[in-house]
Structure 1
Amino acid sequence: MKPVMKRRTKIVAMSAATALLILTGAAGAAVASGSGAHAPQREVTAQREAAALTGTARLYRSAGDVITFSFDAHLAAKDTMDPRRATGTFRFSHYLHGRGAWAEAEVDCLVTGGEVAVVSGVITASDLPGARGKRVGVTVHDLGRHDRLGYSWAGVGSPTDTKDLPPCVSSAPFEKVKQGTGDFKVVPWRPEL
């Protein structure tokens, strides 16, 4: 056999062996991950959710009040045109000199625009008498380290005094977040108008 032919034969043989190793490795990885030839293929790209409000922060009060708000509210991409299909929870508490209360609400509406979010929910758990079953709304302005917040009971004094509040209603974000505590994140809503 000519030397050129031997070299070509070796290159072809090595290429075939390398391809076989790659295919064998890929098949082994597929078996190890639980997918096989008959397993359905998963979608590779994840779809962006329609809107979201997440994070926790403490509000600033010169008197020393300890006021905390936490959010985990989401609107799925498939529900882009219906903000009342939002899911999740939010929690808030207010204490001064050891006295106060906390509440947790189940999200029933979420609307966001740019860096601002309005979320509402019905209180499902609380140690504040008369709060369970009341709808409350909160507004967040995501300004990085200088987030702001407002709430539906700003004009009435207590979540228990909010009567017949519609979904996704709150006040302007007039409160300041205490420096170093804010990490609110707003995913802007982009409805198909």
Structure 2
Amino acid sequence: MTETKKLWARRGIAGLAATLALITGTATASFAGTAPAAPEPRLSGSAGGVLTKAFGSWAGDPVKFQIEARGGPGTTKGRFQVFHGNSRTGGVVAELEGKITCLLVGGEVAVATGVITRGQANLTNDKNTDVTGQKVSFTVHDNGRSDRLYWMWGFMNAPINDCQGTAPILKTSHGDFKVRD
């Protein structure tokens, strides 16, 4: 074999090796770039109902919750809005909004905690109290169109830690929450 043929043969092998490396690297990068991401935990929707006897003097009052949250502990993003009306006076017991700071999801149940960024509560029928900065907790059981939820308010002297919840005892009468694990 002449020197020219040997040189072209070496270049051909080197070129083939470079081409294979490029194809393999591109294929690996391409597969890695299209791998499905792990699903992100979510709680979304809006639902409400009428408070039962278990809620004492607030029994009969209408409540409505809207929650949008995604992520997990340390990466949670989201917002909430709450309305609690007074069935006897037609007034407002509480109206709140804020940001979700922690979300835990297990199957059909989600616990979301957050901080009120704007809100008023009238718990004594005397005067509205600014509850901005207080912690809140929501527990939601996504049971199709028959969800259950419960909530705790820091301004009601309930100690609330991040991602802490309680049993969801209120069955909603309208709306729907979706929990995705």
Aligned partner of 1:145 in structure 2 is 145
* Cα distance, 1:45 vs structure 2: 7.0
Moved more, 136-145 or 57-66: 57-66
* Cα distance, 1:57 vs structure 2: 0.5
Aligned partner of 1:65 in structure 2 is 61
* Cα distance, 1:98 vs structure 2: 1.9
Amino acid paired to 2:90: G
Amino acid paired to 2:61: D
Q: Size of the alignment, in residue pairs?
A: 133
Aligned partner of 1:40 in structure 2 is none
Amino acid paired to 1:102: E
Instruction: Give deviations 1:127-170, integer Å, cap 9, x for gaps.
Output: 222411011100000001110001124xxxxx412355211112
Amino acid paired to 2:147: D
Provide the C-alpha distance between the structure 2 equivalents of 1:49 and 1:92, rounded to a whole number of angstroms.
Answer: 27
User: Structure 1: which 5+ residue stretches go unaligned?
Assistant: 1-42, 76-81, 154-158, 189-193
Percent identity at matched positions? 36
Amino acid paired to 1:115: E
Asked whether the 8 Å contact 1:130–1:160 carries over to 2, the reply is no
Aligned partner of 2:175 in structure 1 is 182
Quick check: 1:127 aligned with 2:120?
yes
Amino acid paired to 2:143: L
Q: Give SS of 1:149's match.
A: strand
Aligned partner of 2:13 in structure 1 is none
Provide the C-alpha distance between the structure 1 equivalents of 2:50 and 2:90, rounded to a whole number of angstroms.
Answer: 17
Instruction: Flag the 1:140–1:182 CA change in 2: closer, same or farther, 3 A.
Output: same
Provide the C-alpha distance between the structure 2 equivalents of 1:46 and 1:125, rounded to a whole number of angstroms.
Answer: 38
* Cα distance, 1:85 vs structure 2: 1.7
Q: CA RMSD in A?
A: 2.0
Quick check: 1:50 aligned with 2:45?
no
User: Structure 2: which 5+ residue stretches go unaligned?
Assistant: 1-32, 53-58, 122-128
TM-score by length of 1: 0.62
Provide the C-alpha distance between the structure 2 equivalents of 1:176 and 1:117, rounded to a whole number of angstroms.
Answer: 15
Amino acid paired to 2:115: V
* Cα distance, 1:101 vs structure 2: 2.0
Asked whether the 8 Å contact 2:137–2:151 carries over to 1, the reply is yes
Q: Give SS of 2:80's match.
A: strand
Instruction: Flag the 1:177–1:131 CA change in 2: closer, same or farther, 3 A.
Output: same
